[in-house]
C-alpha cells in the first residue's frame, strides 16, 4: 500500500457508525430437521421479551454463504443483561447443533430498527482482522460505505466486537430483494473508479485487494428476513 493511501486512510474522518448501542448476535445451526422448530421457539418467546420490557429480537435466515442457519440480533442494555441465563437457553439445547454468541457495538436501535423493518434481504460480511489491523479494517469499512454512497448504493451498518466469539467486526447491508442487491453491478466503470478514489482507495479494482491486506478471515452470507411476530 502506498504512503499516500496510508495517509489518506489515517486522515479519513469516519461517518458516525457506532453509537455505543450493544447488540447480542447469535449464530445458530439447527439440529437436522429442527430449523423450523428453532424459529418457532423464538416466536413463542416474543411475549416474554415484551413482558420483561426488552426489545424484540430480529432474525435472518441463511440463503447462501456461511454455515449457520440463523442470525439472531438482540438489542441489550448491558453485557450482564445479555448474559443472564434463562430457561429459553435450555429449550434450545435439544434442537440446536451449534451456536456462537458475540456482543457487538453499533448504531442506536432507533436507526437500526427502521432499516431492518424496511428490508427483506441482507448481506452479512464478518471479519477477523490480522494482528494490529483492527482499527484500519474499521476505517476500510467506512471508506467502502463512502464509495457505496457515491455510486448511489445502500450503505452498510458497521459493528465492532465487544466480547465473545471469533469475529472482530461485521457489516450488515439492507436490500429489498436479491435483484436490489445485484443492481450495483450495473454501475458504470467510470463512476466506480471516480467514487473509489474520492473515498480514499487507489481505484475501484483495489477495494477488495486492500481489504485482504487487513483480514485473516472473511465470511459472506446472503440472508432473508424471518418474521417473528
- What is the residue-level pLDDT of the chain in tens, covering all 229 positions? 443 333 333 333 344 456 679 999 999 999 999 999 999 999 999 998 899 888 999 999 999 989 999 999 999 988 877 776 556 777 888 999 999 999 999 999 999 999 999 999 999 999 999 999 999 999 999 999 999 999 999 999 999 999 999 999 999 999 999 999 998 778 899 999 999 999 999 999 999 999 999 999 999 999 999 999 8
- Domain with 98, as residue range(s), is 17-226
pTM for the model stands at: 0.86
Q: Tell whether 214 is covered by a domain.
A: yes
Q: Tell whether 95 is covered by a domain.
A: yes
Q: What is the CATH number of the domain that holds 40?
A: 3.30.70.100
Number of folded domains that form the chain: 1
* 3-state SS track over 102-168: EEEEECCHHHHHHHHHCCCEEEEEEEEECCCCHHHHHHHHHHHHHHHHHCCCCCCEEEEEEEECCCC
Amino acid at each position: 500500500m502506498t504512503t499516500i493511501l496510508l495517509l489518506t486512510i489515517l486522515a479519513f474522518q469516519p461517518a458516525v457508525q457506532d453509537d455505543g448501542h450493544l447488540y447480542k448476535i447469535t449464530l445458530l445451526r439447527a439440529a437436522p430437521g429442527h430449523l423450523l422448530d428453532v424459529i418457532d421457539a423464538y416466536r413463542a418467546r416474543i411475549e416474554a421479551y415484551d413482558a420483561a420490557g426488552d426489545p424484540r429480537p430480529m432474525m435472518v435466515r441463511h440463503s447462501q454463504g456461511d454455515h449457520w442457519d440463523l442470525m439472531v440480533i438482540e438489542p441489550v442494555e448491558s453485557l450482564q443483561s445479555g448474559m443472564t441465563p434463562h430457561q429459553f437457553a435450555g429449550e434450545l439445547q435439544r434442537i440446536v447443533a451449534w451456536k456462537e454468541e458475540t456482543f457487538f457495538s453499533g448504531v442506536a436501535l432507533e436507526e437500526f430498527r427502521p432499516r431492518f423493518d424496511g428490508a427483506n434481504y441482507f448481506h452479512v460480511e464478518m471479519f477477523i482482522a490480522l494482528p494490529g489491523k483492527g482499527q484500519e479494517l474499521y476505517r476500510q469499512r467506512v471508506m467502502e460505505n463512502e464509495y457505496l454512497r457515491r455510486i448511489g448504493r445502500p450503505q452498510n451498518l458497521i459493528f465492532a466486537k465487544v466480547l465473545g466469539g471469533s469475529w472482530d467486526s461485521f457489516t450488515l447491508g439492507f436490500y429489498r430483494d436479491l435483484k436490489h442487491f445485484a443492481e450495483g453491478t450495473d454501475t458504470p466503470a467510470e463512476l466506480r473508479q471516480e467514487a473509489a478514489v474520492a473515498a480514499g482507495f487507489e481505484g475501484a479494482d483495489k477495494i477488495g485487494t486492500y481489504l485482504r491486506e487487513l483480514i485473516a478471515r472473511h465470511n459472506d452470507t446472503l440472508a432473508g428476513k424471518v418474521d417473528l411476530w
